[in-house]
Structure 1
Amino acid sequence: MTRWRDRAPAVFFVASAVLLACGAVAAAVGADGVSRVLWVSATLLGLALSVLWTARSVLERRAGVDVIAVLALAGALWVDEAFAGSMITVMLASGRLLEARAAARADRELRLLVERTPRTARRRAGNQVRGIPVEDVSPGDVLVVGTGEVVPVDGRLLATGTFDESALTGEPMPVERPNGDDVRSGAVNAGPPVDVVATSTASESTYANVVRLVQQAQATSAPFVRTADRFAVLFVPLTLLLAGFAWAVAGSPVRAVAVLVVATPCPLLLAAPVAIMSGLSRTSRIGVVVKGGAALEALAAGEVVLFDKTGTLTRGRPELASVVTAPDAPPALDVLRLAASLDQVSPHPLAGALVGAARGRGLDLALPADVHEVHGHGLEGRVGDAVVRLGKAAWIVGDDDPSWLRQVRRRAALDGCLTVFVAVDGRPAGAFLLEDPLRPDAPRMLAALREVGIRRTVLLTGDRADIAETVGRIVGVDAVLADRDPADKLAAVRDESAAARTIMVGDGVNDAPALAAAGVGVALAARGATASSEAADVVLTVDRVDAIADAILIARRSRRIALEAVLVGMGLSLVAMVAAAAGLLPPAAGAVLQEGIDVLAIGIALRALLPTRLHSVPMSADDIATARRLREGHEVAIAAVEQIRTVADALRTRDCRLDPVHELLDRLERELVPHERADEEELMPLVARALGGPATATMRRTHAEIEHQVSRLRRLLTGIAPAHVAPEDVTELRRLLYGLYAVCRLHNSQEEEGAFALVPPTPATARRGGTVRG
């Protein structure tokens, strides 16, 4: 039954077209009787189906305009205009076929998604691997994902792997993810088999969430489409009045039939839905799932955008900022290696930060043994011969309050960092400071929103006011509302909604009420399913917030094209109706003309499918490869920059040793300066091609400034005698180093936002390292 229902529009169109064409051939050879029978048959076919559709609309209490088609077909038979009736039938059949094709396209995408949904998983227990239903997977299970298999649940890699993530992101190229990186369900293993530690259940995983979102996206129609339907219903009495007037004036039903023939409002019934569905298709291609036409319409109408901070304007995934070691502890790199080795099998969100940082520094990690979680405290296990603990300060340090612990807490409070403490063989070894860095594409996204017509942006967060103000200044929002709990966020959204149409963007459970209350809720779900995804109207499945601006651009273009199609189509139909009422357009010619009007209106609507320039900057494959290569040097340069602060902090006015400063200078001249020159020669032309020459002006200036300051450091050190370092020499060195550090940090942010944010991120390039301090 389902297969027949899917094929029925095509069968109807082919049958009606064949009857019309065969009738035309018969008329051309003089077989008028045969042509009349064929055309009458086509008319009767259209009349029977139109009656069926009208009856179904009445039973379902839906407004419909099929009654105009019924009257037009019956009238054509009555006045013996069989050709006109057959043309009306073909017109109806073509409209139904176009509508079915548009719906089938979305259904096909959903069907492909559902067919790829994993049903089973292979769980490793020691040396044995056993297949289990995917519903039985629990966080912490070690799963084996073979070559060509779909990752069944969200997890963390225990070895480097290569994955095809096109079903989630639309990115066709496989992505290489290192040991310890997160991998999402729905990705296909494009490399050798890998082990994955499950971090979620099947129902909470990314892929299951995407399927649910696409199903929801097909459940609603756009307000514009519903408005079009209501306007089409108002069109019925207007048509009947005009047809009755024509009949009364002419004294013949022929003019009335002609009015009915050209009155079918296909531009309203078909063109508007085609344009809206085309917009939905376009947004899905850039990794934005819009839950139906209603959400697309509301997205196009947005005027004020409110943002959560964590996970929205920031990465939402903590990264290692620094390591502070306790007195008499092992070296900082050894502490990091031990902690990351233990965290390899932990599903905790912070575990990936330590594992990724260790891998980024080239540390060899060992698989831990005897791992167990101490509820409320942390994780404990054996790495090699050492017993390692990770968790809260009270569990690691106890009731003591040593100076290094106070230093950690002070730095964490100033920088807004999270802390994870570590002990080795029962003795405190240090602490890890984890920060949530700003998304490099966030400032460009704010600028793009203003370009598409958003007139106000607001940062709405539960974080501290000082941290929120800093983020707000960097990304460029118009207002910052900090220290807001979910109820406060809900109230803020309602206040903004009272004055303008709102769009709320968030990614956490605490954002769900605000997302539901806004005119449009936009959720970031690139790293898994959350309550925010369920409450939102629009969901980003790519880990780039600048896709929001492109989605708004597509939504506004689709709405504009839908309006153009309706105005052109209905305007021409009204002109044709008046001409038919005046006797200038007989039924047969009116049927041909109306078919042309319908095709024109639908053709205008299909423009919404055509590619258009978005805010995402197109780059050639060579430019992308060059940028990714330079990004590797950028990571090396960042490590050198972080050493500047470490060396400056260690300078003392008494008994000052200059060896660390000389080693730093050698490294800057060996790594940082060549990197900046390579950027000047290769990266700046790339950015200029993508964004235009003016976009590189500030970056070029800071390149010169960095090289100038390194040169000044060389001259300063040359003039200081190592055996007689005066206090004023130390002061000057410290001043120069801190200044160089600030310029380099600013420049790194410029390159992140102005250059590397243009390139789709890969795990190897998106991860930033932090300072390792002893």
Structure 2
Amino acid sequence: MGVTRVKTAILLLALAGLIAGLALHLSGQAGLATLAWWAGVLPALAALVIEIARSLGRGETGLDIVAALSMSAALGFGETLAAAVVAVMYSGGTFLEGFAEGRARREMQGLLSRVPRSATRHRNGALQEIPLDEVAPGDRLLIRQGDVVPVDGTLASATGFVDASALTGESLPIRLERGAEAMSGATNVGEAFDMIATRPARDSTYAGIVRLVEAAQRARAPMARLADRWALGFLAVTLLIASAAWALSGDPIRAVAVLVVATPCPLILAVPVALVAGLSRAAHYGVLIKGAPALEALARMRVLILDKTGTLTDGRPQIVSISCLGGQTEAEILRLAAALDQASQHPVAQAIVAAAQARGLALPVPSGVTEHPGEGLVGQIEAHRVIVGGEGFVAAQIGASPGSTALDAGALLVAVAIDGRMAGHLVMADPLRAGMAQILTGLRREGIARIVLATGDRREVAERVTQGLGLDGLSAGMTPGGKVALVQAERAQGPVMMVGDGVNDAPALAAADVGVAMGARGAAASAEAADVVLLVDRIDRLGAGLAIARGARRIALQSVVAGIGLSVLGMIAAAFGALSPVQGALLQEVIDVAVILNALRALRIVPRV
């Protein structure tokens, strides 16, 4: 039985015992009513004792001790109705807390699911499907279009085209020549190719990233519950007032009344209610926060580490300029190039098609198309023979010499020839998201004091793309392990939040105090390793998440302070004999309702987005 089911069962038993006991008591069957209340209290008390033992074994002291004392004392001195009320209050609070944490992250098994469970191996002139564990160095494997490279190896075919953005952060596909290294976890976006395995699956790049994630999660210190940080002080005050009441009056019932009033339900109830409300409110803005501890931590972040590709940038190649070399206009060059590229699944070709469609250009159907994998396409568009591809490929097709167009770092040049003549060039790049400078300013306004870029790209690419953003630091050429080390180093400046979207970001997301994944188009690995997932492809929603987290935590603290203040006043009244245990339990219920209503204000937080 899962933890949530156990908490639900305990709450239902406590509630059933309280209601049944009240019904029996009103019908004049006091003895049976007492048994019913005992039956409702004992499961909650047993669960409390077990949790206290576990907490003490970890060297932790929580609010569970106060609740256990109040229930035990009430039962010991015959105040079974008060004990039943406390049991319902406490089990209700732990149920709410369990509900909040029920949205916690899934296991990292999903990270492994991205890698195929089998591989296609050449053997004796035939192809055979074998389990991934049976792949050995030296095996010749077939990687079909769309396949994820299962193990590290070297290219055995003449060329190959892979998308390694999830591993390296490079947004543009990579062309591989014979003998080049093919990393596990990259996706084949070109024609099928052969590769020679150089490592078994357990030693490959992707498996190493999985181990980094798991190690980072184990090494990260657990986040303490907000309520438990108040526990020791509240426990000391409670015991002091209860002991004084008993010692000065000689009446142990006064001590029981104090303990019942002191049952820390403002902490047990108000905190999870405010945080669950914050989780719900954040989800409304497309920010999935995986549990109350993650929301608490998000509210305290001071350092932000950003990946570049797919985070600061859109992560997809876009046309940034079109140069015309003949008599055609930019629109005509783009229209003919995009019409031909409709016949290709290559990411760059699809980006060109999308750009033409965004401009409202009508794209005719190509005919007689020949695709040269990793090079370009040749085909007929209306009455024109069109060639689209790399500068060298297009120049060779028309019998010309390649030009020498200067490009910014990280840009890609696509040449277009029409009817045997070079017509122009499309310059592709992965630019910054719109309004990124304003977004970072907004994050600083929400309490982020330091913003650092961590990318697998080359430094010159990163510096060009982020110019003018006012970053506090920039680390380029980062490996997954390097990003983890950066997270650990930056922790000296304050709690660290890491934002990324690729498999290569997953270890750093797991190592950070709060990991944030761009879940709309990011890798499943990063979404599962993260504490927060942005469900929409908008980095500005991170600011909304921060504002909601800070607001929910502030409301939770307000509820705690008000609830504890009222409880202390009630404890003092009980110590002087003004409240019986049952009256104290009912007073505590009134306080609970008040702090819960206040906590629900978190549902109305409106962040600036």
TM-score of the superposed pair, with normalisation by structure 2: 0.68
Q: Deviations over 1:335-361 (max 9, x none)?
A: 433432333353333223211222234
Please give the residue correspondences for 1:116-195 in structure 2 after superposition, counting only pairs within 5 Å. Answer: none
1:552 counterpart (546, 555, 559): 546
1:392 alignment counterpart? 390
Conservation of the 8 A alpha-carbon contact between 1:369 and 1:382: yes
| Aligned AA (1:297) | E
2:86 alignment counterpart? 88
Cα–Cα, structure 1 residues 248 and 466, in superposed 2: closer, same or farther, change >3 Å?
same
Cα–Cα, structure 1 residues 304 and 80, in superposed 2: closer, same or farther, change >3 Å?
closer
2:449 counterpart (452, 455, 471): 455
Cα–Cα, structure 1 residues 238 and 103, in superposed 2: closer, same or farther, change >3 Å?
same
2:320 alignment counterpart? 321
Return the alpha-carbon distance in structure 1 between the equivalents of residues 510 and 527 of structure 2: 10
Return the alpha-carbon distance in structure 1 between the equivalents of residues 511 and 8 of structure 2: 41
Conservation of the 8 A alpha-carbon contact between 2:391 and 2:402: no
- Alignment of 1:350 onto 2:344: no
Listed as ranges, the gaps of 5+ residues in structure 2 are 107-143, 148-187, 191-216
TM-superposed deviation, 1:513: 5.1
| Aligned AA (2:355) | A
2:586 counterpart (571, 584, 592): 592
Return the alpha-carbon distance in structure 2 between the equivalents of residues 280 and 600 of structure 1: 21
Q: Which moved more, 1:53-62 or 1:254-263?
A: 53-62
TM-superposed deviation, 1:391: 3.0
Conservation of the 8 A alpha-carbon contact between 2:101 and 2:290: no
1:433 alignment counterpart? 427
Cα–Cα, structure 1 residues 221 and 73, in superposed 2: closer, same or farther, change >3 Å?
farther
| Aligned AA (2:323) | V
| Aligned AA (1:22) | A
- Alignment of 1:15 onto 2:16: yes
Q: Deviations over 1:20-71 (max 9, x none)?
A: 65367x3xxxx7x43x346424421332222331354367667665565555
Q: What percentage of aligned pairs have identical amino acids?
A: 44
Return the alpha-carbon distance in structure 1 between the equivalents of residues 65 and 453 of structure 2: 52
1:57 alignment counterpart? 51
- Alignment of 1:504 onto 2:498: yes
Cα–Cα, structure 1 residues 73 and 449, in superposed 2: closer, same or farther, change >3 Å?
closer
| Aligned AA (1:365) | L
Return the alpha-carbon distance in structure 1 between the equivalents of residues 315 and 20 of structure 2: 62
| Aligned AA (2:351) | A
TM-superposed deviation, 1:604: 2.8
1:417 alignment counterpart? 411
Secondary structure in 1 aligned to 2:323?
strand
1:255 alignment counterpart? 254
Secondary structure in 2 aligned to 1:439?
coil
Cα–Cα, structure 1 residues 322 and 470, in superposed 2: closer, same or farther, change >3 Å?
closer
| Aligned AA (1:356) | A
1:223 alignment counterpart? 223
Conservation of the 8 A alpha-carbon contact between 1:342 and 1:368: yes
The number of residue pairs the alignment matches comes to 501
TM-superposed deviation, 1:283: 1.6
TM-superposed deviation, 1:561: 1.8
TM-superposed deviation, 1:588: 2.1
2:570 alignment counterpart? 576
TM-superposed deviation, 1:545: 1.6
1:612 alignment counterpart? 605
- Alignment of 1:294 onto 2:288: no
Secondary structure in 1 aligned to 2:38?
helix
TM-superposed deviation, 1:515: 4.1
TM-superposed deviation, 1:547: 1.0
Conservation of the 8 A alpha-carbon contact between 1:255 and 1:580: yes
Cα–Cα, structure 1 residues 505 and 79, in superposed 2: closer, same or farther, change >3 Å?
closer
| Aligned AA (1:95) | G
Conservation of the 8 A alpha-carbon contact between 2:563 and 2:591: yes
Conservation of the 8 A alpha-carbon contact between 2:510 and 2:530: yes
TM-superposed deviation, 1:553: 0.8
Return the alpha-carbon distance in structure 1 between the equivalents of residues 20 and 54 of structure 2: 32
TM-superposed deviation, 1:608: 1.8
Cα–Cα, structure 1 residues 280 and 239, in superposed 2: closer, same or farther, change >3 Å?
same
1:564 alignment counterpart? 558
| Aligned AA (1:397) | A
Return the alpha-carbon distance in structure 1 between the equivalents of residues 484 and 223 of structure 2: 24
Secondary structure in 2 aligned to 1:223?
coil
1:705 alignment counterpart? none
Cα–Cα, structure 1 residues 372 and 21, in superposed 2: closer, same or farther, change >3 Å?
farther
Return the alpha-carbon distance in structure 2 between the equivalents of residues 298 and 472 of structure 1: 28
Cα–Cα, structure 1 residues 521 and 6, in superposed 2: closer, same or farther, change >3 Å?
closer
- Alignment of 1:445 onto 2:419: no
Return the alpha-carbon distance in structure 2 between the equivalents of residues 335 and 560 of structure 1: 57
Conservation of the 8 A alpha-carbon contact between 2:303 and 2:493: no
| Aligned AA (2:298) | L
Conservation of the 8 A alpha-carbon contact between 1:274 and 1:602: yes
Instruction: Choose between structure 1 and 2: higher helix proportion.
Output: 1
2:199 alignment counterpart? none
Conservation of the 8 A alpha-carbon contact between 1:20 and 1:87: no
Secondary structure in 1 aligned to 2:493?
coil
| Aligned AA (2:440) | L
Conservation of the 8 A alpha-carbon contact between 2:79 and 2:581: yes
Return the alpha-carbon distance in structure 2 between the equivalents of residues 503 and 102 of structure 1: 21
2:535 counterpart (524, 541, 553): 541
Aligned-residue Cα RMSD (Å) equals: 4.4
| Aligned AA (2:565) | G
TM-score of the superposed pair, with normalisation by structure 1: 0.55
- Alignment of 1:48 onto 2:32: no
| Aligned AA (1:351) | A
TM-superposed deviation, 1:554: 0.9
Return the alpha-carbon distance in structure 2 between the equivalents of residues 537 and 11 of structure 1: 31
Conservation of the 8 A alpha-carbon contact between 1:267 and 1:598: yes
- Alignment of 1:285 onto 2:279: no
